[in-house]
A and B are shown apart, each in its own frame.
Chain A
């Protein structure tokens, strides 16, 4: 449908029939009054038939109470329309282009009125802000002539944007898989070397630093031996979000999608790993390409925050573009630094997600899966979905991939409980 388009409204056709029926009864019964009365509906129908398509000249302004709202904040939108043409617009109907990811919280984005030349009308409504970058669509205008018989549909573009960037959630200290390598940091490795915590004592080898020689032992036995500490290294971590259509499932039609929880988990994991000095990157499995190389520092943190909030690959509603699983996965594998660990945030509602986790793990990128649980309900289908998902979790665990199954608790306490279970 391309705009502007015009159409005729045949609603007054019934009046011709009514008029002719009245005239017929008048003729049959010999009542001239009825014949005369029959002209009235026919004239109204003729008025609609003679209608010409209106072409109103409108100026539209749209004002929002804030362009950078917090999440779930109500944003008041006020639309003001002025008739800048020389003639009266007798019937104007407006439908404002509310961004698809936002819901109207109060009032209605629709309005109808008549405007004399130079006259203005305004209407307002409130939308609930949602994570992301939102652009308003044009104002849709339907103009009718005085009889309602001819209509013109058009759009008036008004640039309005909202950007809602939630803060990075509190850190969740998700432990990594024990195989780090790289620069000094806080990820404990099974190797011995320089560090703080005691690891082993071994025989002295030439070149060992003096401060690591166990002098008590040397005094007691006369043999030199060297103390090894647990080596601590900084890890490189890439948080991968499942933002395919399957990553957008929701427990209920009106609920937020599970992607919002994946994004929250990704933010919490990022913050947790950043605080222990790891280099953390972000990537998505999604139709749109999204990659932020691992990094550190406050600039990188700001980039992560903005990416998690507004990147098109993480838009609050799924994209219509196709997703090519094999291409996306191989692109991700090309980009992953060779020593990178992967934290994969996915609801695990299909086999592709579980397979991806195992493939990355097999490609020597140790994977930890964080899985927000979207399954609810007691119907057969819902129960089946729940069983299938928990089977995927167990298969992954059997393959040695830790899975954090995130239910109703906060993510931070879920991670803390999982860590307690793993270390028990």
Chain B
């Protein structure tokens, strides 16, 4: 029966966030255009990622990422080129990360607050990191693409050590 209560904060992300997530996800999905089934699966994933962002549902976002990455796998099996696979994966992963970040932001500051710049900065950095990783990976792939060179083994070991250190 106490007088003034906290107004309930709407923790769904602002509508502008869904634009960023949807845009990046569609860029990733379109890279799979060669295979119709992969493209449709990835587009479904992009739609779910966007919808999850609009309604503030982490579960829908997770399902969207699963569907979109499933599209990548289907694309790889049906013979989509390595560059396109990389672009698709990078786009989908960045969109997934942006959706997660959008939900996290909205949980802290709510739907009404202006948080567009925080999300675009975060997404920009994630896209940068992803591009560098994909570029480096593709470079190594080109250099040691065929056969079983010793250099690839050394790099693989080095990468494994780095990975272990990063995930420790």
> Which residue numbers of A lie inside 8 Å of B, CB to CB?
9, 11-12, 14-16, 18, 21-22, 25-26, 29, 31-34, 36-47, 49-50, 90-95, 100-101, 103-104, 107-108, 110-114, 123, 130, 142, 144, 146-148, 248-250, 253-257, 316-318
Min distance, Cβ B1 to any Cβ of chain A, angstroms: 5
- Chain B residues, Cβ within 8 Å of A249: 1
Once the chains bind, are B4 and A316 in contact (CB under 8 Å)? Answer: yes
- Chain A residues, Cβ within 8 Å of B66: 18
Q: Are A44 and B129 also in contact (CB < 8 A) when A148-B122, A249-B1 are?
A: yes
Min distance, Cβ A194 to any Cβ of chain B, angstroms: 50
- Chain A residues, Cβ within 8 Å of B109: 93-95, 108, 110-112
Q: Which of B100, B138, B166 contacts A36 (CB 8 A)?
A: B138
Q: B92-117: contact bitstring with A at CB < 8 Å (1 yes, 0 no)? A: 01101100110011001110111101
A92-B114 Cα distance, complex, nearest whole Å: 12
- Chain B residues, Cβ within 8 Å of A113: 114-115, 117-118
**What are the 10 A-B residue pairs with the smallest beta carbon separation, nearest first?**
A46-B166, A112-B115, A43-B133, A33-B82, A110-B109, A257-B3, A114-B121, A37-B89, A110-B113, A112-B118
Q: Which of B76, B105, B114 contacts A123 (CB 8 A)?
A: B114
Is B69 among interface residues, defined by CB-CB distance under 8 A? yes
Q: B5-26: contact bitstring with A at CB < 8 Å (1 yes, 0 no)? A: 1010100000000000000000
Q: Are A90 and B121 also in contact (CB < 8 A) when A40-B86, A255-B3 are?
A: yes
Q: Which of A14, A37, A44 contacts B72 (CB 8 A)?
A: A37
A–B Cβ pairs within 8 angstroms, 20 of them: A15-B97, A22-B73, A33-B85, A33-B86, A44-B93, A49-B166, A90-B125, A93-B105, A95-B109, A107-B112, A108-B113, A110-B112, A112-B109, A112-B114, A130-B4, A142-B108, A147-B129, A256-B3, A317-B3, A318-B2
A208-B119 Cα distance, complex, nearest whole Å: 94
Give how many A-B residue pairs fall within 8 Å (CB-CB): 182
- Chain A residues, Cβ within 8 Å of B89: 22, 37-38, 40-41
Q: Are A12 and B72 also in contact (CB < 8 A) when A112-B113, A249-B1 are?
A: no
Q: Are A317 and B114 also in contact (CB < 8 A) when A31-B77, A37-B76 are?
A: no
A130-B96 Cα distance, complex, nearest whole Å: 44
Nearest chain-B residue to A259 (Cβ)? B3
Nearest chain-A residue to B129 (Cβ)? A47
Q: Which of B2, B3, B90, B108 contacts A40 (CB 8 A)?
A: B90
Is B134 among interface residues, defined by CB-CB distance under 8 A? yes
Once the chains bind, are A34 and B85 in contact (CB under 8 Å)? Answer: yes
What 14 new A-B contacts, CB under 8 Å, besides A26-B76, A254-B5? Answer: A18-B69, A22-B89, A25-B76, A32-B141, A40-B90, A44-B93, A45-B166, A50-B166, A95-B109, A113-B114, A113-B117, A114-B117, A257-B3, A317-B2
Min distance, Cβ A8 to any Cβ of chain B, angstroms: 13
A100-B110 Cα distance, complex, nearest whole Å: 19
Once the chains bind, are B133 and A39 in contact (CB under 8 Å)? Answer: yes
Once the chains bind, are B93 and A41 in contact (CB under 8 Å)? Answer: yes
> Which residue numbers of B lie inside 8 Å of A, CB to CB?
1-5, 7, 9, 62, 65-66, 69, 72-73, 76-77, 80-82, 85-86, 88-90, 93-94, 96-97, 100-101, 104-105, 108-110, 112-115, 117-119, 121-122, 125-126, 129-130, 133-134, 137-138, 141, 145, 162-163, 166-167
Q: B-side binding surface: helix, strand, loop or mixed?
A: helix
Once the chains bind, are B118 and A114 in contact (CB under 8 Å)? Answer: yes
- Chain B residues, Cβ within 8 Å of A112: 105, 108-109, 113-115, 117-119
Min distance, Cβ B148 to any Cβ of chain A, angstroms: 12
- Chain A residues, Cβ within 8 Å of B119: 112
A148-B102 Cα distance, complex, nearest whole Å: 11
Once the chains bind, are B3 and A316 in contact (CB under 8 Å)? Answer: yes
- Chain A residues, Cβ within 8 Å of B138: 36
- Chain B residues, Cβ within 8 Å of A257: 2-3
Min distance, Cβ A102 to any Cβ of chain B, angstroms: 8
Nearest chain-B residue to A107 (Cβ)? B112
- Chain A residues, Cβ within 8 Å of B105: 93, 112
A40-B133 Cα distance, complex, nearest whole Å: 6
Once the chains bind, are B4 and A101 in contact (CB under 8 Å)? Answer: yes
Min distance, Cβ A153 to any Cβ of chain B, angstroms: 10
A252-B114 Cα distance, complex, nearest whole Å: 32
A111-B72 Cα distance, complex, nearest whole Å: 36
- Chain B residues, Cβ within 8 Å of A91: 118, 121-122
Once the chains bind, are B118 and A147 in contact (CB under 8 Å)? Answer: no
Once the chains bind, are A12 and B97 in contact (CB under 8 Å)? Answer: yes
Nearest chain-A residue to B77 (Cβ)? A29
- Chain A residues, Cβ within 8 Å of B134: 39-40
Q: Which of B76, B112, B125 contacts A33 (CB 8 A)?
A: B76
Min distance, Cβ A120 to any Cβ of chain B, angstroms: 13
Once the chains bind, are A18 and B166 in contact (CB under 8 Å)? Answer: no
Once the chains bind, are A93 and B118 in contact (CB under 8 Å)? Answer: yes
A248-B1 Cα distance, complex, nearest whole Å: 8
- Chain A residues, Cβ within 8 Å of B1: 248-250, 253
A46-B164 Cα distance, complex, nearest whole Å: 10
Q: Are A147 and B126 also in contact (CB < 8 A) when A25-B76, A43-B133, A104-B7 are?
A: yes
Min distance, Cβ B25 to any Cβ of chain A, angstroms: 14
Once the chains bind, are A11 and B100 in contact (CB under 8 Å)? Answer: yes
Q: Are A250 and B2 also in contact (CB < 8 A) when A111-B115, A148-B104 are?
A: yes
